[in-house]
Every structure is written in C-alpha cells, then in structure tokens.
Amino acid sequence: MTPPRKSATVARKRAAPRALPRHAELDSRYTAAVIPTTILAVVAQLADADGIAVEPWLAGLGLTRAQIDDAAVRVSYRQASLIIKRALRTFGRSGFGLEVGAHQSSGTFGIMGLAMMTARTFGDAVAIGVEYADITGALMDVEVEHVVSNRPNAHEIALVARPRFPDDEILAFLCEELFMSTLNLARTLAGSTFVPQRFEFTYPPPPHAAAYRKRFGCEVRFGARSNRMVVAAHWLDLRLPTHHPVSAQQALAICREQSAQIKRQSEVIASVERILRRRLADNPTLGDVAQTLNLSERTLRRQLANAGRAWRDIHDQLRAERAFELLRAGALSIAEIGGEVGYSDAREFRRAFKRWTGATPTAMRAGSVVHG
C-alpha cells in the first residue's frame, strides 16, 4: 500500500473572515486563468435543466456559454467564484453545492478519475487524487492528514479541504461540492459499502443541515477546526478490482503533464495579466508586454498559445473586468471608463463592451443586466 503523499497537522483556526481581502487580487492564484471549467459546466447543466439562462452570470467576465463547456478553456479563481455567487443567488435554494456534487461521477474527474480507477489500492487512488486535484478544476486545496485519536485502535485518516481565499459567501458551496463529489468517486472505487467515519465543517449548521446527514450517510459535525472527511485507515489497503498497471501508467503520465502545464500556464499568464492591469489605460501591445518581460514578441505569443490563451482574449478579458468594476462604482462617465481601459473614442468602447458582455455600458450601469 502506498501511503498518502501529503500530510499536515490539524488546522488551528476557525472559519475564515467574511470579507475577501483586497490583497487577494494581487495573488496570481486569484486572477490567473488556469482552472478548468469542470465545476462550472455542472452548474450550467443544472441551470439548463431548470430553464435558467447562464449568460447573465458571465456578464463582465469575457466568457461565453459555449466556453463553459469547452475543455480547452481555463478561468481564474476570481471568475469562477463570481459565477458561482451569481448562480447561488439565481437558484436561491439551500444545499445547491450538494446537488452539484451529487451530479458528478468518476467521468467528471477526467483523466485523473481514470488514473484513480486503475490504481492498485484505494490508498494509491487517494494519493493520486490529492496530487493532481488541480487538473480537475478544484477550487479548494486538498491534502491528507493522519487523525490523532484518544480511542484505542482507532486509526483514521482525513481528506482536508482548505479554502484558497477567505470568502464565506461560497465556503459552504465549495465544501458541499467537493465532499459530495469525492464521496461519489470513493464509492465508485471502493464499493457501495464505503462509509466515512464523519464529516467536519468549520461553519455553523446551515438551514439544510439534515440534508448533509442524509447525503453523506454518517455523522456530521459543524463548527469544527477544519473542513474534512474522516475515514477509517483500513480502507487504504483495499485492492481495487479495476486496477490495470498499463492503463495506470498511461493515465498518470497524462496527469503529470497536465499538472505541469497548469503550472507553466499560471506563470506566464499571471505575468502578462499583472503588467496589463497596471497599463490598461495605455492600451499596451503584445510587443510592449513582451519587452517588459525581456522576451521577443514571437516567444511570448508562442508561450501564450502553449497555455491555450490568445493575447487579444486576455487583453479583452481584463478590460471587460475593469470596465465592469468601474461601472459598478459609478464615479466615472462612460467615456472616462473607456479611457481607463485604453479607448480614446467612447463609441469604440461602447461597441467593444457590447462585444465582451452582450450588453451596453448604459444598460449594465442601469442594473438591467444581472451582475455580481
């Protein structure tokens, strides 16, 4: 049995503060578009089933409905969290994260799901899931820790989920989605008899707390020190009937490459975005940014292409996001906002804004378009 590859001591802090700190926007993890749209695609599918339009959730984000279902598209944490917040307000029902998690299967986890399915033991599969969670579009960081218990012969391990940024508005959703989908996958791997010891959450019991116990089928604790699923350690030794050594090697090789690609994407995209944000009003060219990075224009264009992004898409996305923020603030005129994002002609800015968002700046400011 291969032991889990990551461990950590139990977190000592309570639930995160309510407000998202402004400095989070300076963190490349918050703004770099490197997250697959896996979770957002499930949310959109549920909206389609209910006859709910997804397009209003994308206003000001430089994204289209078709891109949400595109495996090649990557979004930033900022974009994903804002879309989720808008979706939660639209659906208006508690426990939506449980629904999204329950709607997922091993296929939702893509190549990582295949790597886990073909692993030798359940413990090996857990280690794979922790190491390559980033390629599945996960919005929380996960790790495995060994649980210290006062009970004799009580050997337990826990899958711990940590928020990347403190944001209470979506914390429950993120936990519900992650642990419900993980439980579905665990039961696919280990069989229907798989039952965790308990789930623990840092937040108070929500109005739908009874649904947690019904969905998870075990003890649920709220107001805990960390968000985690606690499992009896003997499950780690379980040999998986779907183990296949050749397929496992092939799947792991793809997982490693995809994970490395995300890291490379994060670096180049975050650098370009950081420079563009500082200089939006100057309307910099690709050559200008490449020079700042001490690269040739051709090299930077190739690196962006390898990351699955195009210069114009990144530039337009940041201009759309900034314009949207300024419209909400309400202090500047439409023409002044256009100037802030690099347009000297107000009419040209209006046309560009309509192309980015599907709405005019005036309509967006008037509140006739749903926004965050």
In a domain, 39, yes or no: yes
> For residues 139 and 191, is the Cβ–Cβ distance under 8 A?
no
Q: What is the mean pLDDT of residues 76-105?
A: 93
- pLDDT tens for each residue of 220-232: 999 999 999 999 9
Asked whether residue 110 falls in the same domain as residue 219, the answer is yes
Shared domain for 328 and 293, answered yes or no, is yes
Q: Enter the tokens of residue 207.
A: 């109005």
Mean pLDDT of 244-255: 94
The per-residue pLDDT for 267 is 73
Three-class SS state of 71: coil
On whether both 218 and 292 belong to a single domain, the answer is no
- Residue 371 in any domain: the answer is no
| 231 and 276 housed in the same domain | no
80 shares its domain with 207: yes
Report the range of poorest mean pLDDT among 112-121, 174-183, 314-323: 314-323
241 and 276 share one domain: no
Percent of the chain clearing pLDDT 70 (strictly above): 88
| Residues 251-270, mean pLDDT to the nearest whole number | 83
Residue 28, H or E segment = helix 28-31
Task: Kindly write down the DSSP assignment for every residue of 73-136, as one continuous string.
Answer: -EE-HHHHHHHHHHHHHHH--TTHHHHHHHT--GGGGHHHHHHHHTSSBHHHHHHHHHHTGGGG
User: Maximum Cα–Cα distance for the chain, whole Å?
Assistant: 74
Residues 335 and 190 in one domain: no
Instruction: State whether 69 and 199 are in the same domain.
Output: yes
Q: What does the mean pLDDT of the chain come to?
A: 86
Residues found in the chain: 372
The CATH number given to whatever domain includes residue 230 is 3.90.1520
Co-location of 28 and 71 in the same domain = yes
337 located within any domain = yes
* Residue whose structure tokens are 């985690």: 228
96 part of a folded domain: yes
Q: Give 19's pLDDT tier (boundaries 50, 70, 90).
A: very low
pLDDT, residue 248, reads 93
Banded model confidence at residue 47, pLDDT cuts 50, 70, 90: very high
Confidence at residue 153, expressed as pLDDT on a 0 to 100 scale: 67
What is residue 269's predicted lDDT score, i.e. its pLDDT? 80
pLDDT higher than threshold 70 for residue 28: no
332, part of any domain: yes
Q: Is residue 29 part of a domain?
A: yes
Give the C-alpha distances (Å, rounded to integers) separating 371 from 56, 159, 319, 325.
Answer: 7, 35, 16, 10
pLDDT of residue 230: 96
5 inside domain: no
Mean pLDDT of 171-181: 97
Q: How far apart are CA 136 and CA 152, in angstroms?
A: 37
Domain boundary residue, one of 245, 270, 304: 245
Which of 196, 221, 245 lies at the terminal end of a domain, its last residue? 245
CATH for 273: 1.10.10.60
What confidence score (pLDDT) does residue 56 get? 92
> Could you tell me which residue, 253 or 10, shows the higher pLDDT?
253
- Are both 239 and 267 inside the same structural domain? no
Indicate if the pLDDT at residue 11 is higher than 80.
no
Banded pLDDT at 152 (limits 50, 70, 90): low
pLDDT at 12 over 70: no
Range of the domain at 144: 22-245
Give the mean model confidence (pLDDT) for residues 236-243: 95
Query: Does 256 fall in a domain?
Result: no
Q: Using alpha carbons, select from 196, 197, 172 the residue that is nearest to residue 184.
A: 196
Per-residue model confidence (pLDDT) at position 2:
45
**Predicted pLDDT at 231:** 96
Overall average pLDDT of the 286-307 stretch: 88
Do 186 and 160 share a structural domain? yes
Same domain, 265 and 225: no
Number of domains in the chain: 2
Boundary of a domain, candidates 211, 245, 279: 245
